[in-house]
């Protein structure tokens, strides 16, 4: 089990590095799918099979396919990749990434400060999760329902193409 | 190496979060910025699941579920915005979309 975890976390980090350095959006999306699948394996090795299944089905399956469809609708071709290559000069990315990695180093030092705790290997079953979800967290489930409803209405309203057909009396 | 330590998993989550942050800072295309935000949300979910597994409570996975629902709603609205921006401005460059004219 630890070996599974180490291999999949290395794959997740490498695939994420590939995501933020690709020029073509479709390549980045496919690497991100690989990264999400590796994170699903991490969840499985931590004893969270329900979260692993949701990661594969919703993140890698639904959200990434939505991104892929939008990328296909926008018809971003070779010209976009060339423009990205032009934008991604070292003088652009070296400052922000150095600062981000300084923050990462600080966070790792802080995380390594307390003494290490071994993870207990026990599976949190989907039954436990759903009992707790529909028991004590029921109000949060209803709020998430509101949020999803708002998301649907907002996406349908924003994504609508406005027709420019005026009434025949208003046409000049 | 006989068992996974809680440090290791949290460090992996921190690395993924920082990679997403760096991606959001260095890219100029709106689609890549959205992808980086997805990476950051996913790293936060990984940290929640690790905390849930550490104390063997289902709450971590429940928070992960809420993050998942929030990410789905956010992505649908943001992609509709991207389609509309591309329709109106014919570009996805964040530098050219900074004006709030009209």
Q: Do A5 and B9 touch (CB under 8 A)?
A: yes
Confirm whether A39 is domain-assigned: yes
Final residue in a domain of this structure, among A38, A61, A88:
A88
Per DSSP, the three-state class of B55 is: coil
Q: Of A13, A87, A140, which has the smallest distance from its Cβ to B15's Cβ?
A: A13
Nearest to B36 by CA among B13, B15, B11, B19: B19
Cβ contacts of A132 on chain B, cutoff 8 Å: 58-59, 62
- Give residue-wise pLDDT tens across range B28-49: 888 999 999 999 999 999 999 9
Confirm whether A146 is domain-assigned: yes
Residues A66 and A130 in one domain: no
pLDDT-derived band at B6 (thresholds 50, 70, 90) equals confident
Residues A144 and A80 in one domain: no
pLDDT reading at A113 higher than 80: yes
pLDDT reading at A122 higher than 90: no
Residue A16 to residue A13: CA distance in whole angstroms: 5
Final residue in a domain of this structure, among A32, A63, A88:
A88
Confirm whether A143 is domain-assigned: yes
Residues A20 and A72 in one domain: yes
B50 near B10, Cβ under 8 Å? Answer: yes
Confidence at residue A37, expressed as pLDDT on a 0 to 100 scale: 95
Neighbours of A53 (CB within 10 A): 14
B56 Cα to chain A: minimum distance (Å):
6
Confidence at residue A82, expressed as pLDDT on a 0 to 100 scale: 81
Q: Do A129 and B4 touch (CB under 8 A)?
A: no
Residue B17 to residue B48: CA distance in whole angstroms: 13
Confirm whether A58 is domain-assigned: yes
Nearest to B16 by CA among B53, B50, B35, B44: B44
B88 Cα to chain A: minimum distance (Å):
10
Convert B67-88 to b/e letters by CB count within 10 Å (16 or more is b).
bbbebbbbbbbbbbbbbebbee
Cβ contacts of B18 on chain A, cutoff 8 Å: 100-101, 103-104, 107
Residues A61 and A136 in one domain: no
Residue A131's closest chain B neighbor by CA? B58
In chain B, the domains with their CATH numbers are 6-97 (1.10.287.3510)
Dihedral angle, C-alpha B29, B33, B36, B41, nearest 10 °: -160
Joined tokens for residue B21 = 């942050």
Confidence at residue B98, expressed as pLDDT on a 0 to 100 scale: 74
Among A68-77, A143-152, A160-169, the minimum mean pLDDT is found in A160-169
- Would you give the DSSP letter of residue A114? S
Confirm whether A5 is domain-assigned: yes
Nearest to B75 by CA among B36, B26, B23, B45: B36
Q: Which residue has the tokens 């289902």?
A: B58
The residue ranking higher by pLDDT, A16 or A92, is A16
Where residue A20 sits, what CATH number does that domain have?
1.20.120.1200
A15 near A34, Cβ under 8 Å? Answer: yes
Q: Of B1, B9, B79, which has the smallest distance from its Cβ to A70's Cβ?
A: B79
Q: Do A45 and B4 touch (CB under 8 A)?
A: yes
Q: Do B83 and A73 touch (CB under 8 A)?
A: yes
Joined tokens for residue A108 = 């790792």
B95 Cα to chain A: minimum distance (Å):
11
Residues A1 and A84 in one domain: yes
A141 Cα to chain B: minimum distance (Å):
8
Cβ contacts of B67 on chain A, cutoff 8 Å: none
Residues A6 and A72 in one domain: yes
Confidence at residue A116, expressed as pLDDT on a 0 to 100 scale: 77
The residue ranking higher by pLDDT, A83 or A147, is A147
Nearest to A54 by CA among B59, B35, B65: B65
pLDDT-derived band at A131 (thresholds 50, 70, 90) equals very high
Measured CA distances, A159 to A8, B8, B71, B82 (Å):
37, 42, 18, 9
Residues A8 and A59 in one domain: yes
Residue B83 to residue A73: CA distance in whole angstroms: 8
Q: Do B73 and A118 touch (CB under 8 A)?
A: no
Q: How many domains does the structure of chain A reveal?
A: 2
Cβ contacts of B62 on chain A, cutoff 8 Å: 129, 132-133, 137, 140
Neighbours of A124 (CB within 10 A): 24
Confirm whether A171 is domain-assigned: no
Q: Do A129 and B62 touch (CB under 8 A)?
A: yes
pLDDT reading at B59 higher than 60: yes
Nearest to A35 by CA among B60, B12, B8: B12
Residue B55's closest chain A neighbor by CA? A120
ipTM: 0.91
Confirm whether A110 is domain-assigned: no
Q: Do B77 and A58 touch (CB under 8 A)?
A: no
pLDDT-derived band at A164 (thresholds 50, 70, 90) equals low
Range of the domain at A129: 125-160
Residues A20 and A73 in one domain: yes
- Give residue-wise pLDDT tens across range A24-68: 888 999 999 999 999 999 999 988 999 999 999 999 999 999 999
Residue A95 to residue A142: CA distance in whole angstroms: 43
Residues A79 and A4 in one domain: yes
């Amino acid at each position: 089990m630890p070996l599974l975890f180490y291999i999949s976390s290395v794959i997740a980090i490498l695939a994420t590095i590939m995501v933020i350095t690709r020029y073509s959006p479709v390549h980045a999306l496919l690497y991100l799918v690989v990264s999400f699948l590796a994170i699903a394996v991490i969840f499985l090795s931590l004893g969270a099979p329900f979260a692993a299944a949701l990661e594969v089905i919703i993140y890698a399956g639904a959200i990434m396919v939505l991104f892929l469809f939008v990328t296909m609708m926008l018809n971003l071709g070779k010209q976009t990749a060339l423009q990205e290559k032009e934008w991604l000069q070292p003088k652009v990315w070296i400052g922000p990434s150095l600062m981000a990695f300084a923050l990462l180093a600080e966070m790792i030092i802080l995380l390594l400060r307390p003494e290490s705790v071994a993870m207990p290997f026990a599976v949190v079953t989907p039954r436990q999760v759903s009992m707790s979800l529909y028991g004590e967290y029921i109000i949060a489930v209803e709020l998430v329902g509101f949020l999803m409803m708002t998301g649907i209405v907002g996406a349908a309203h924003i994504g609508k193409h406005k027709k420019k057909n005026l009434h025949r009396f208003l046409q000049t | 190496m006989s068992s996974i330590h809680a440090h290791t998993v949290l460090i992996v989550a921190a690395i993924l979060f920082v990679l997403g942050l760096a991606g959001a800072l260095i890219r100029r295309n709106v689609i890549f910025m959205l992808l980086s935000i997805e990476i950051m949300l996913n790293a936060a979910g990984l940290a929640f699941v690790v905390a849930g597994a550490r104390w063997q409570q289902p709450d971590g996975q429940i928070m992960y579920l809420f993050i998942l629902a929030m990410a789905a709603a956010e992505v649908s609205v943001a992609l509709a915005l991207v389609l509309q921006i591309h329709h109106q401005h014919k570009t996805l460059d964040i530098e050219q979309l900074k004006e709030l004219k009209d």
